[in-house]
Structure 1
Amino acid sequence: MSFWRALLRETGLKGAVRPRSADAPASSREEHPAKQPTEVPVPSPTPAGGAITEPLSLSEERGETAIAQASATRTAEPDGASVPVPTSGMRAVSLERTLRSLVERLGTEHPDTITARNNLATKYAQMGRRQAAVQQFELALAEAVEVFGDEHPRTEIIRENLAWAYEDAGRPEDAVKQWEVLLRERERQFGPADEDTVEARIRLAVCYRRSGRLDAAVVHYERAIDDVSSTEQREDLRLGLSAAQSMSGRYDDAIAQLRMVLAGRRRRLGKSHLDTLTVHHRLGRAYTQAGRIDEAVEVLRDAYRAAMNSFGDPEVRRLTLRMRRDLAGAYNAAGRHREANALL
């Protein structure tokens, strides 16, 4: 049983699945990255005075903002009165007060203070206050390492929160350092094929790619592909691997990965499904990048025809326009200007 699953069983608490990360390019939705770790609340000790601080938890909905909650909704009381429902901002103020109180009474390195700092950072992250979240997670991690040590479950949870916060803040190089530690510790404790070890490896591969360390990204993508059991997850990893290979000029290797994903999605989803079409389009572009123009024309033409069969979907329509532009470019590159002009 994986580390996080064992911890959930021990605490008797349920976790919530995080939303999928943005491993795919912003202009497409072809990559559905691996399922991210489950929230693992850890009850904190009771501080002096009998008050109980919030449980330590992983960030709930990464990237969630408080914009939709800008004005407090109101609920009716039995006597007809209404009371405001706390907004994210109000909740953050409450957590800030809790942290200040614990620092004054117990000091910065007390377990309850560390818990409160993590929870405040989590709320900042949910509100989109990325830099403030990073700052508080960094302090919480330094204090947790000092108090609990590197291998303690609370330290690992805060370290993972910090890694995600770095990613949200556009700092993949800093996230790499945290994922490297997490991967090393999980490999040592639970083995290379453990669910949480694999997820740390996947995030490390993504951050290596985003920070330009492409050879390292390729190594970890390939290892993760061998270790995952889900077909869909393996396809997502192949897409990430193909991106790293393309960025490093290994176009033929990228094409091989994309062809495998395209074949799998055609079997599972059909050739006119948006996710299939997106990979089909990407394969055609990869042929163009590789200078294999005749093959690019053939692949892009087939993708364009398949997309026309699902033209009623607005997202497919947008993708079809990009396919049409790229197909015209491939025709021009092949010297087939009349066919290119017919598309433009």
Structure 2
Amino acid sequence: MKRLFSTLLLLCFMSSPVMAKNILDKLTAAPGFEISLFADDVENARQIAVSSRGIVYAGSRNAGNVYALIDHNSDGVADKKIVIAEGLNMPSGLAIKDGDLYVGEVHRIIRFKNIDKHLKNPEYEVFYSDLPSERHHGWKFLRFAPNGELIIPVGVPCNICEEDPRFGRIFSLNTDTKEITTLAKGVRNTVGFDFHPSTQMLWFSDNGRDMMGDDIPPDELNRITKEEEHFGFPYVHGGVIVDPEFGEGKNIADYTQPALALGAHVAPLGIHFYTGKQFPDSYKQQLFVAEHGSWNRSKKVGYKVAVATIENAKVTKYTPLITGFMQDETTFGRPVAFAQLNDGSLLVSDDYANVIYRVSYKKN
């Protein structure tokens, strides 16, 4: 057990209301939806999770912090921010199970036991440390499976490189035995996945390779149908493109096709199946996708929240829900990940604007 702080850092929200209002003014939501700020001044906000008491926890990447955000009066706006950890190694991913907060650093998973009751005295223990230390695509996204195992991705430490069993995988960790198994191979860089509420199949986003031009290869939404399924990297991209460096002699048919080929470089990160009751029925059990947006394209793409409509395990429609994060090649925000509040509204983190939005639906 390691003591994290000698004193607790409590911070009120002090960022400029003008800046916060400016980002909201840029965004446009689908009819009936409203966007507000749940929290601002959350530096580099990445994956978010909500405890049984309604406390919202947020990881970060470059900031190295983990935050607790508390909405004391349940008005949809956090009124206190607590930095429960700092100086960590890209603590981007986090998940909650049985009251314990699990945080994914590049090289390990740490755990804060019974976190809601220890905000004044946060301590962590190293829960699992047998992960690669390479930082390139090394930041994590975490999710607990229906069987209680912890799902952990390890991205490849490159743009494009030969397959290595330590990387380009989605792993499942038994939290009791610490035995780790491979769920998927050939995954370049996923930092977003979720289990379908009915079928329990694991869906995930994947970011395609760079340096093949503006329009190829596509980024992907995928679903896992069997253990150790191979999704192509580094040999085949988007289910149709043979890699010019590593694809020689490879057969496209040997690799799983994406459930949906997205635009090249749109950078899909967090995904979330909606299970609440606030949104219209057409959104229930549908997949929300955060397109973080391109950094490596002559004209920017992505920069939106979209919804993939899924029928009989197939994507039948892909519709923008929130746009305006980028306008006229100027970036105002970059959506990252989702978490659902008890009232059915949806939180969306933004690591560029340093905020967490609350998306609600106003019934007529």
TM-score strictly above 0.5? no
Bigger fraction of residues in helix: 1
Larger of the two Rg values belongs to structure: 1
The TM-score with structure 1 as length reference comes to 0.25
* Structure with the higher fraction of residues in strand conformation: 2
TM-score norm. by structure 2 comes to: 0.24
